[in-house]
Amino acid sequence: MTMPLRRSRSLAVLALALALFLASPPPAFAGSSKFELLASGAKTATAQGGAISVSGVREMLVFATCTASSTPTRLDVYLQSSSDGGTTWYDLPNEMAMTTAAAGTDITSTSTMKRNVLDNVTTCASAVNAVGRYTVFGDLVRVAWVISGTSFTIGVKAIGKN
């Protein structure tokens, strides 16, 4: 076989491989993915949500909302993580969190390295929204909350970036 024929076959194989690569769908968690950490609902006691796999995610923005409360006293919402399949859970620090009222008014100062994404919420007569950024976590995460009072309606969603 002559050199030009071998080179043209190599280029044809390379072109075919490139075309197949470009036509295939991206892998899971390519770029960013949205997922629900805790479906919105009334919570009446301190507890934790179910484990969510975040393998391949490097960074998360977590959005927590409290939309209603009944005889409230205090609500804290935070993330926990496990790196051993859910046997041991650790509270996670968020790198930055901000809480706002329904009208968009900042109701807490932005701070760094604190646990709660929703921190010391005393009423949700109008919606209270919070966003926190996380870059330190294991393969599993879950939402945890501490409630004093009768009931808070909360929900938590996230966007993961790999």
CATH classification at residue 84: 2.60.120
- Position 18 in a domain: no
Domain extent for 127: 32-161
- Position 114 in a domain: yes
- Position 24 in a domain: no
Q: What is the pLDDT of residues 15-51, one digit of tens each?
A: 555 555 566 555 544 578 899 999 999 999 999 999 9
Whole-prediction pTM value?
0.74
- Phi, psi (deg, nearest 5) at residue 29: 65, 20
Q: Which two tokens stand for residue 23?
A: 């036509």
CA-nearest of 117, 128, 76 to 94 is 117
- Position 125 in a domain: yes
The Cα 152–Cα 65 span in angstroms is: 10
Q: What is the pLDDT of residue 21?
A: 57
- Position 121 in a domain: yes
What total of structural domains would you count in the chain? 1
Cα 67–chain centre separation? 19
Sole residue written with tokens 């484990």: 51
- For all residues of the chain together, what is the average pLDDT? 82
